[in-house]
Structure 1
Amino acid sequence: MDANLLAFIPLILTLVLALVLRQTLVALGAGILAGAMVFSGFQPLTALSYLADIATAQLYKQGQWQGWHLNVIATMILLGVMTQLLARGGAVMAFGDWLYGYVRSPRHARLVTILLGWLVFIDGIFSCLAVGNVCQPLSDRYQIRREQLAYFVDSNASPLCALLLFSSWGPYLLSLLAGVSFLPMPPVQAFFELAQANFYAVLTIGVSLFVAWKGFGFEKPLPVEVSAPTQDIGKGNPWLLLVPMGTLLSASVGLTLYSGATHTHQSGLAAWLAAADIGSAMRNAALLAVVMSLVMMLKSGRRVSTLLTDLYHGVLSMRLAIGILLCTWMIGSVIKDLQVAAMIAHWAEAHLNPSLLVSGLFLLCATMAFATGSSWGTFAIMIPIGAEISGHVAPELLLPALSAVVAGSVFGDHCSPISDTSVLSATSSGCEPRAHVLTQLPFALTVAMSALIGFQMLNLGLGKLASWAIAIASVSVLLMLLQWWFNRKQAKATTGSELPDA
């Protein structure tokens, strides 16, 4: 077999296993092993030596510790610890109890669900679990259908994490962007550029707010017997959650700007962000937030032995994420050594129509993420390849293309019935995953069509503001049509229910 074709075996194997097994870590591991065999000429001992070299190089290379990788791992572990401290310590439940006292209508209840998702932005899975479980009593009290609750939970978890640098997604995406050698700006600045053009994530959050305000799109729930509020409702302590989250956010911003200011003689936010040691800043901010979480938990009466157990579970909770991250770095090295991305890029340069590059990447990544149920797995494979393709076909579209990769991955994961966030959003909200996916799909497809139009406008050379204007106009028109369709459907159902039985 031709050597060029052999080089594609690891990538193809990874994609096939991800689609069939739906296990990102297994698929990445198999691809790494296959790549090592191909690179070594199918010599087992040489392949093992190569695997040891690329594994070690992720943490220690050429006599130096890889500070960026180590800081990313440390930050993710600390965020996992903080998540468990807040969840197991009852901080989210206490905040929900406090919040219930200020809810006066179904509209308030829907908006509060979204607000809580914004407050626990730290991680997508944590957001799904925390918001769904906390807001279930609220949804019962104000007759909000469980599928509608799951929609609000899911739509303000992963899409929000994809936009925020200081969530658990931020370090992961930064590490992938740092691997793009021809990126025209520092990874942190590129992250903000990608977020500004992430039509799907931003519009999803906006549409969820509109749906929460109007209250359409879901059938009326059946009457349920709601238990009387306990004496603690309205008397919870909001500071158990707000203080650690505020510490994380303020310390992240402050330490990042301080780091940049000390590393450059230039003034201004842009110069400071470009020069900042973002890895160290995020690690230290996460550490401060964990310390503050421990202090708040101790003050609330939680015992030291229990907190040690929480810390242990926090570290364990990040095992899979850290494993995926390490495998992502390793398969990136394999693909680079086999020059797979470069070969795909040369093929794309010869055959791909540049006018369809950005929108095509959005659709491709959406399909992959939907089939695998993993946005992170799609990021790992498609960010290096998408960068190489755009670098050869249309270098000026590098950042829009990478933004399309992120947006498409989030869209596919958002709609996938096998996605962890889809399943957890449904189960924590008290509904079936299948029902959640089916009722969420009309809104997700509406946003995706508008995002596709926005990316195509960028592809055709329109500016960011003009593309956003067209995307917002598109989603507005589609939402009005969707609302009309839901109202018509509801009217038919109401008329039918009033007909006498035969």
Structure 2
Amino acid sequence: MLELFPLLLTLSLALLLRRTLIALGAGVLCGALILNDFAPVDSVSYLGRGIQGLFYQDGAWQSWHLNVLAAMLLLGIMTSLLGRSGAVAEFGVWLSRRIRDGRQARLGVVGLGFLVFIDGIFSCLAVGSVGRPLAQHYGISANRLAYMVDTTASPLCSLVPVASWGPYVMALLAGIAFLPVSPLEAFIGIAAVNFYAIGALLLVLLGSWLNWGWSGEPEPTIDTAADDLANASPWPLFLPLAALLVSSVAFTFYSGSRLAGEPGLGAMLTAADIGAAMRDASALAVLVAMVGSLWRGRGSLLGADLLVGLKSMALAVGILLLTWMIGQLIKDLGAGARIANLAREWLSADYMLAGIFGLCAVMAFATGTSWGTFAIMIPLCAEVAHSLQPELLLPALAAVMAGSVFGDHCSPISDTSILSATASGAEVQGHVTSQLPFALMAAIAALLAFQALNLGLAAAAALGLMSLVAAALLWLWQLRQKAAVIKGGSD
């Protein structure tokens, strides 16, 4: 059991300290000591070789690792440029002048969340700041605004391969030796059955369109949108995002068509250099954002904007590097085989997906981080799924992501929970409490869908089941809200 101690230490510290970086670092150090019979010099030498191997190994640069890190840093820079240059604020003014009623205001906030897909934290800050004047003008409570902001942040980012989450998750997937497809194909396959994220987005769209689920909304005010930007335009925000999305697809297919040995979409995606495509697309988007900043007269502040963007990704880069190292340690210690044997003994294959979803939800809720949960649980649950039901490997990884996003979505110590509440003008506790029923609706629907998928239901049918259950739960919640209003009025 000694080979499992580094993983148990990592999990325990992550739950107790709620500091993923420290937990992973302790796990890596402990694993190195165990692997080298607690010889300090040999352990340090092993760690040095491991760090070097992340970037240069067997006479060749590790292009995947380097490209992923470059893409993450570039996306951090782009986020900083768009936020600090005023592009987000200008888009908010432009949008507010085209809104005519409460439904359009609600859908406008949700739509902006879909547009600002590059990063969860950036989405919370951008959509919250843009949505606040709309919410005040059209009678949307601060808690409801925070719910819309939070729900279109992490859940959406977990589905988009060109968001900042994409390179991070695909880097974790690339470390799974028995992954049957490329990391990009795996990410797309996982997103297709990430039932919690899809369900949460479905509920926020349905609730915004029908005005369901909320009662006691404030009266609309006579405040109008800020008029300090007479010629407000959407292009400073839209152009960099469009450049990122379009060029990432173009670069992917270009490299795939050049490297594929046979025709066909699948062959192109498999052969494509995804890391280079993400790096180049992110670089192009940053260039577009930089031109926008220069156009707005921020040339003297450009260096500071770039530095802020780099700093914003420092923690994620550190976690990713340690995750790669602990993944190698799992292989060297033989911990993966041990976990697989334990899973065969203790975990029923019939409830594997639901069990993974629940476990990851608890961990993410306790730690307040979905990324940290990904880093620890994706390699572990991949081993479990490969041992119990290899054909459900991608759904198992989807259960990891879905459970992690659910737990993070509900956690009062999650950065996105705190930032979405702050940006929306809500109290954190009030936001978390008022959002919980909707998160639970999506979670219940997702749990049933994962269990149905585990028992052999087709993915499309499981997705339909999830959608029906989520919509039905929202309808029942709306009936409850109406009954409470009627009862309150009669009293």
TM-score (norm 1): 0.95
Maintained 8 Å contact 2:368/2:415: yes
Q: Which of 4, 8, 26 is residue 8 of structure 1 equivalent to?
A: 4
1: distance between equivalents of 2:248 and 2:242? 10
Q: Deviations over 1:248-303 (max 9, x none)?
A: 0000000101110001142232221111000001100000001111112222232x
Moved more, 96-105 or 225-234: 225-234
Q: Specify the SS of the correspondent of 2:206.
A: helix
2: distance between equivalents of 1:344 and 1:194? 22
1: distance between equivalents of 2:70 and 2:226? 40
Aligned to 2:73: 77
**Correspondences of 1:77-476 after superposition (within 5 Å):** 77-222=73-218, 227-232=223-228, 235-302=231-298, 304-476=299-471
In structure 2, what residue type is equivalent to 1:396?
Answer: E
- 1:233 positional shift: 6.0
TM-score (norm 2): 0.97
- 1:149 positional shift: 0.3
Q: Deviations over 1:58-85 (max 9, x none)?
A: 1111221110000000000000000000
| 1:40 aligned onto 2:36 | yes
2: distance between equivalents of 1:95 and 1:483? 33
Moved more, 47-56 or 215-224: 215-224
2: distance between equivalents of 1:399 and 1:249? 24
Q: 4+ residue stretches of structure 1 with deviation over 3 A?
A: 221-230, 232-235
- 1:410 positional shift: 0.7
2: distance between equivalents of 1:150 and 1:203? 18
Q: Structure 1 regions of 5+ residues with no counterpart?
A: 497-502
Q: Deviations over 1:120-166 (max 9, x none)?
A: 10000110111111211111111110000000001001111110000
Maintained 8 Å contact 2:96/2:225: no
In structure 1, what residue type is equivalent to 2:370?
Answer: S
Q: Specify the SS of the correspondent of 2:263.
A: coil
In structure 1, what residue type is equivalent to 2:30?
Answer: A
| 1:484 aligned onto 2:484 | no
Q: Deviations over 1:375-422 (max 9, x none)?
A: 111111111111111111111111111111111111111111111111
Q: Deviations over 1:316-372 (max 9, x none)?
A: 111111111111111111222112222011111233211011111111111111111
1: distance between equivalents of 2:132 and 2:95? 13
Maintained 8 Å contact 1:379/1:405: yes
Maintained 8 Å contact 1:145/1:218: no
Aligned length: 491
Q: Deviations over 1:203-223 (max 9, x none)?
A: 111110011112233333445
- 1:234 positional shift: 6.9
1: distance between equivalents of 2:54 and 2:397? 23
1: distance between equivalents of 2:224 and 2:98? 16
2: distance between equivalents of 1:456 and 1:234? 54
Maintained 8 Å contact 2:121/2:153: yes
2: distance between equivalents of 1:234 and 1:36? 61
Supply the RMSD in Å over aligned alpha carbons.
1.4
Q: Specify the SS of the correspondent of 1:58.
A: helix
- 1:97 positional shift: 0.5
2: distance between equivalents of 1:220 and 1:104? 21
1: distance between equivalents of 2:200 and 2:435? 11
- 1:182 positional shift: 0.8
Q: Which of 479, 482, 488 is residue 493 of structure 1 equivalent to?
A: 488
Maintained 8 Å contact 2:252/2:277: yes
In structure 1, what residue type is equivalent to 2:316?
Answer: A
Maintained 8 Å contact 2:212/2:474: no
Maintained 8 Å contact 1:127/1:153: yes
Maintained 8 Å contact 1:243/1:292: yes
Q: Which of 53, 58, 62 is residue 58 of structure 2 equivalent to?
A: 62
Q: Structure 2 regions of 5+ residues with no counterpart?
A: none
1: distance between equivalents of 2:488 and 2:44? 64
Cα distance change on mapping 1:152 and 1:233 into 2, 3 Å = farther
Aligned to 1:53: 49
